[in-house]
Structure 1
């Protein structure tokens, strides 16, 4: 049986490995990564960093070998891919399939812990860093409700059982105290939670192992959780049984960098090839008054010829032999083709819909064509979420919530996944009308087809029933004779 510090050492190593793995993908997702090649080229072509005053005027330029006056283009393609998949992995809560009381508890925990917001964070961080975590604890005090926190892979790690059911048997979360700057942590084992702290000096494991660490257990007795499991789940989009989960950005890193490269080179092409180059001959160059053999130099150190090549400036010369001309500009068509090819490779790897990369508003894509375009992406989202490892993690989180709040309840847990397809309202309404006309229940059809919540369905059904009763009443009154109608009105008034 490992000692507490052996668990801590193993988990700290995993946190370090996870943080190192996620770092380059985090920079690409945040659009902070710059290709070294482009950074060097831009520093040579557009050297220096402009230093401006408070009112925006250029007051100086810092010249060195790495800074550029023009920021290197970054396409943000990695962020587009992650956000596109993440926005389709939406949950509406967690339910118990055969227990209404348990469903109410789960929905209350879902809302109380802001999981309607935080489940997006869990999915996004898992797509970027290959994993994220959900930690559940019992609220201190008399409430006893389940408190859920979503944790990042650079701060948390788990050890799993190596045989079915592959439960988490150890969990570590580390952080830095914002007031003292000291390291702190929480080690969770089956039935126990242990508070950790980080000292300034290395310490030997008091339980006799060979582990030496600055981290130490504050209270060796720990805190009893009253649980026979570690209430932690790992959100990781597994695609292989024996392979570690990978970042969604990992398979497309080369393609993402290629898109950035094309964007960067396109600026050069546009500046030096597409922008018309104007020329002049036979012009008089002002001479330096101190040395007429030399041209007069401008502030930039170049001869002051008196002409600005910008398109909004006119060139005029009093010399009749002066000639002006313009070189034929090149085009960017080849770069556009290259960029589209790189984006197509990203689409092929990620199965994203074309609308995330280019949207031609003149094409007026029909609803059926839109669904066809999205079909590979929606299948992949379902395979990762509703029918994948993420669904397993949310189901287990729901089980842990009930085990903490009401241990006597034994029921099956079902995460409620939203439809990842783009909603076409007219099609949904048409489908609803046809299904209810065929005899299906209004409430069940409204929930499945229209996606309404139970409260809205209940109000709509009650309003529809009241309307039907009013129509039936009016029809019955239309069949009354004038004498019967007058008698009824008289009795109602009386």
Structure 2
């Protein structure tokens, strides 16, 4: 029987992190399914599920996607800013653009909101630069030191190479990097992958970690002390199931009880030659029901009203809005005579949630830029404002702030300009002022001609 790996050896980290990653993936797969509208079908008796399966599939109304997108849509990085080195800010923004992180960061924010976390990986390039890539939480996991929770101890990246049908993994330690591969595990196998060392041409197995640190920045969504990031859908799934069940019941009511059901008594039902009942009437808009029996009586049951189902579904949607701080009009789709103040009040909870989520996301973003060697501890992430205001409201507020002596660069920032736009506007202003000083204002502010020589001085 093989001996277990030595604690904190590369093999020990590989097996430990692999198990944690698989367990976390299985736990968060349900959140991903609900975001993609692959909900569990509402419960029905086993005998009734097959006949009603079409209606059950039509009953899924995906509010989970709206909850995630309402948050992720307000998370947008505008630039980087420090008080000491503007050139470092430009280099940071250049690296951000070179790695297409305008879109890549959005992908990472969405995955963090769905599964609770995502990652940015920093890789040195042969030209001395850095490559930054968003990493999916089903492929990367980081573990932190128990005596220093903010310090990463090791990381694992796992992926399936479908070209070779191999499962590949890399363990990152602060000083070394180790790689393995194994045949793709078959479903139903109880034992883990049969790892062997993966040798890459030109690379030493267990090569040196050029960064000297774990090369990942973790983007955690609403973490807690002693708990990792959590999905925005954690408390929504149960309510989503309730909504789907209500919609399914309403659709079955519409299918079978949305029109008056007629009945007749005191009438003999005819049968065919095989003894099977024959429908005595052909119900239609232009038909009259007639019976020869004197005691025949006709009547109808009233059509079932869907109002109760509609109110129940609306109440559940309002629960989602309250629990997730999502504006109700995002989910209900109703905006009737709402003033600007009412809309702002309705979105206040979402804005507050965005600011909360950004505090934890900033830690991972700042670590990512520090790994790339172009951001200091004084640098900060500049976000686009999550508040949506009309230009008239914003301009009025900025004009009032300018009367208090607020610098124009601060006003531009409040307007929503990026650090790059602010620098460009400042240079344009300086250029316009210099041209004015050299032209129309030259006579008043420009250089003066030398005074005429004093004859007395010349004589002396």
- 1:125 matched residue in structure 2: 111
Residue 243 of structure 1: how far off its partner (Å): 2.4
Relative distance call for 1:71 and 1:131 in structure 2 (3 A) is same
Map 1:32-47 → 2, pairs under 5 A: 32-38=38-44, 40=46, 43=49, 45-46=51-52
Matches of 1:9 and 1:182, distance apart in 2: 17
Matches of 1:347 and 1:251, distance apart in 2: 11
Relative distance call for 1:216 and 1:315 in structure 2 (3 A) is same
Q: Does 1:31 align with 2:37?
A: yes
Three-state SS of the structure 2 residue aligned to 1:250 is: coil
Map 1:400-419 → 2, pairs under 5 A: 400-402=371-373, 410=376, 412-419=378-385
Matches of 1:213 and 1:328, distance apart in 2: 63
TM-score by length of 2: 0.80
Matches of 1:39 and 1:103, distance apart in 2: 62
Cα displacement string for residues 178-199 of structure 1 (whole angstroms, at most 9, x for unaligned residues): 2121111222111322222114
Matches of 1:293 and 1:278, distance apart in 2: 24
Residue 372 of structure 1: how far off its partner (Å): 0.9
Identify the match of residue 354 of structure 2 among 372, 381, 387.
381
Matches of 1:69 and 1:257, distance apart in 2: 15
TM-score by length of 1: 0.75
Map 1:298-447 → 2, pairs under 5 A: 303=279, 305-307=281-283, 313-316=285-288, 326-361=300-335, 363-385=336-358, 387=359, 389-402=360-373, 410=376, 412-447=378-413
Q: Does 1:157 align with 2:141?
A: yes
Q: Tell whether the 8 Å contact from 2:59 to 2:248 is kept in structure 1 after alignment.
A: yes
- 2:447 matched residue in structure 1: none
- Structure 2 gap segments, 5+ residues each: 1-6, 186-190, 441-460
Residue 355 of structure 1: how far off its partner (Å): 1.5
Three-state SS of the structure 1 residue aligned to 2:132 is: strand
Matches of 2:378 and 2:45, distance apart in 1: 55
Q: How many correspondences in the alignment? A: 422
Matches of 1:349 and 1:212, distance apart in 2: 40
Matches of 1:379 and 1:171, distance apart in 2: 32
- 1:205 matched residue in structure 2: none
Q: Does 1:260 align with 2:255?
A: no
Map 1:164-243 → 2, pairs under 5 A: 164=148, 166-199=150-183, 214-219=194-199, 221-243=205-227
Relative distance call for 1:107 and 1:161 in structure 2 (3 A) is same
Cα displacement string for residues 423-457 of structure 1 (whole angstroms, at most 9, x for unaligned residues): 33221122223333554343431222243564377
Is the deviation greater in 213-222 or in 339-348?
Answer: 213-222
Cα displacement string for residues 296-352 of structure 1 (whole angstroms, at most 9, x for unaligned residues): 5xxxxxx484445xxxx5325687999976532232222222112212222222111
Q: Tell whether the 8 Å contact from 1:286 to 1:295 is kept in structure 2 after alignment.
A: yes
Q: Tell whether the 8 Å contact from 1:98 to 1:411 is kept in structure 2 after alignment.
A: no
Relative distance call for 1:275 and 1:433 in structure 2 (3 A) is farther
Relative distance call for 1:137 and 1:452 in structure 2 (3 A) is closer
Matches of 2:80 and 2:274, distance apart in 1: 86
Q: Tell whether the 8 Å contact from 1:432 to 1:450 is kept in structure 2 after alignment.
A: no
Q: Does 1:14 align with 2:27?
A: no
RMSD: 3.6
Cα displacement string for residues 32-56 of structure 1 (whole angstroms, at most 9, x for unaligned residues): 022351485863553xxxxxxxxxx
Q: Tell whether the 8 Å contact from 2:198 to 2:205 is kept in structure 1 after alignment.
A: no
Cα displacement string for residues 121-162 of structure 1 (whole angstroms, at most 9, x for unaligned residues): 1121112112112211101x2x22211121222111112122
Q: Tell whether the 8 Å contact from 2:167 to 2:184 is kept in structure 1 after alignment.
A: no
Cα displacement string for residues 212-261 of structure 1 (whole angstroms, at most 9, x for unaligned residues): 85123335742323322112122112442122332221122222211211
Cα displacement string for residues 463-489 of structure 1 (whole angstroms, at most 9, x for unaligned residues): 89969x99xx99xxxxxxxxxxxxxxx
Matches of 2:160 and 2:73, distance apart in 1: 31
Three-state SS of the structure 2 residue aligned to 1:423 is: coil
